[in-house]
Amino acid sequence: MATSGRYCICEHCDFRDVVFANLSEDDIQELCNHKEEHSYRKGEIIIHQGEKISYFKYLKSGLVKVYRKTSDDDEQIITITKPFEFVSSMAIFEAEKYNFSVSALEDTVVCVVNLDYIKSLLINNGRFAIGLLTKIAGINDKIIRQCLDIRQRNLTGRVAYVLLYFAKEIYSSHLFDLPVSRKEIADYIGMSTANVIRTLSDFRNDGIIKVFGKTIEITDIGRLELLSSRG
């Protein structure tokens, strides 16, 4: 990991409203004392599959991919997610070890809190517990929905779906730089790299998108949405 350190400015962190809303000022202060921030450069691995879970981790800034190794040593991308959607949400209280990896797609800052401390907060503060439960349930729900959405679609629909995901959920813009390679898109939607590229070319030839390397501009979002819902 690139950098790490302690900063006690949690009072002003946007994250407070997300799950830490039910903590008192004192709790926030103590949370700060139990917290560290780690910075990762693009490409660095934040969590290794198989690593022991002993911290509660969440994204402060940046973008990450969550993925797992398949039996034939390929990568299967579970989700691509941005700040305030937890990293370590999925099984921290249940599993001993991470059964997925996380790596930074852009420069990323991760906040790290000792898991036992979070547990003590949960025990002593029921509203905090409900908040966390709600947040985790929502994130998991989104992942499940995405997985089912993808499974339902054919090649064209999947590529359209993932382009819309970047445009709407991640960048809130019709013009954006892909944070992933073509191969990673393929790993994400479960298709071959060649066919992902072919589909992007088709979209380009049909005037639905413009492509300049990693830069994508969606020029006909209506048609893209139609392709996503049809396929």
Partner DNA sequence: CGCGGCTTTGATGTTCATCAAGTAAAGTGG
Partner DNA sequence: CCACTTTACTTGATGAACATCAAAGCCGCG
Q: Rounded to whole angstroms, how far apart are CA atoms 87 and 57?
A: 6
| Angle between helix 155-164 and 193-205 (nearest 10) | 70
Residue 86 in contact with residue 58, Cβ under 8 Å? yes
| Angle between helix 221-230 and 155-164 (nearest 10) | 130
Whichever of 138 and 207 has its CB closer to a second copy, that residue is 138
Choose among a second copy, DNA, none what residue 127 binds, the Cβ cut-off being 5 to 8 Å by kind: a second copy
Choose among a second copy, DNA, none what residue 141 binds, the Cβ cut-off being 5 to 8 Å by kind: a second copy
Whichever of 133 and 175 has its CB closer to a second copy, that residue is 133
* Least CB distance to a second copy at residue 39 (A): 27
Q: Rounded to whole angstroms, how far apart are CA atoms 9 and 141?
A: 31
Whichever of 20 and 40 has its CB closer to a second copy, that residue is 20
> What is the contact surface with a second copy in residues (CB under 8 A)?
68, 70-71, 76, 78, 89-95, 99, 119, 122-127, 129-130, 132-138, 140-141, 143-145, 147-148, 150-152, 190, 229
Whichever of 211 and 221 has its CB closer to DNA, that residue is 211
Residue 150 in contact with residue 190, Cβ under 8 Å? yes
Tell me if residue 142 falls in helix, strand or coil.
helix
Phi, psi values for residue 76, rounded to 5°: -120, 115
Residue 99 in contact with residue 140, Cβ under 8 Å? no
Quote the radius of gyration of the chain (alpha carbons, Å).
19
* Least CB distance to a second copy at residue 89 (A): 8
* Least CB distance to a second copy at residue 80 (A): 14
* Least CB distance to a second copy at residue 154 (A): 11
Q: Rounded to whole angstroms, how far apart are CA atoms 33 and 153?
A: 47
* Least CB distance to DNA at residue 215 (A): 10
Choose among DNA, a second copy, none what residue 43 binds, the Cβ cut-off being 5 to 8 Å by kind: none
Whichever of 30 and 37 has its CB closer to a second copy, that residue is 30
